[in-house]
Amino acid sequence: MAQLLQERGVVAAPEQILKDPLGRRRMPDLLLVDYQGLRLVIEGEFASNSAKQKASKSALKRVEDGIAHIGMALIYPASLRDLAPDIARLKEALAETTMEFAVITESEALQSQLTLPDLPGKRNDLVSFERGDLNALINALRRSYEQLLKDQVLERAVEALKNGIGVFISSLNIQPATTARFASALEFGEPPTTKPETSEEDAE
């Protein structure tokens, strides 16, 4: 999948993945590629009763932990297992086959973090899967990228930053010594004292 996306100019994949996709050398446990300057993680599973849950949970956690900006959960048809030794046939089949996939962004991660702890099943409800071929997957990636650029995502980030600054300032207000230690560590000195300027009229 990383090779196919690279060939279509969608992502920039690590050289090791492109040269050795079948893992004759040890592949990294985490597959990260560059998508429009963002980190995209690919989490794939062969079709099974628990495949969606496993792939979406892994992809969501990568985004929640800040490892990736976008997580892609892929469910491959079980029939592709038999094509693994032949990379050319595997790529051809993968490019044409219908898959199930979900693209997870920071929006879903934020909703997941706000889910009540006594409702663990709700986390999986936040991730919805689509069906389609490689082109449909690429379109879903582009939509997710556009979603991340929308104002509401930026507004949430700004609001979270404001809240964090407010908590930090409140903490400093009740601990004057901590303020002094921060100032010392950051090499902040006392503000310079300047004499007020006087006009000629005032001098006279």
Domain parsing of the chain, residue ranges: 2-149, 151-187
Walk along the chain (204 residues) and give the pLDDT tens digit of each residue. Answer: 888 999 999 998 876 665 655 555 545 557 889 998 889 999 999 999 999 999 999 999 998 888 998 999 999 999 888 887 778 888 899 999 999 999 998 777 666 655 444 444 444 456 789 999 999 999 999 988 887 777 566 676 677 778 878 877 777 777 777 777 777 777 776 666 665 555 555 545
Residues 79 and 90 sit within 8 Å (Cβ to Cβ): no
The CATH code of domain 2-149 reads 3.10.310
Longest dimension (CA), the chain: 97
Round to the nearest angstrom and report the end-to-end CA distance of the chain. Answer: 82
Q: What is the chain's Cα-based Rg?
A: 25
pTM of the shown model: 0.63
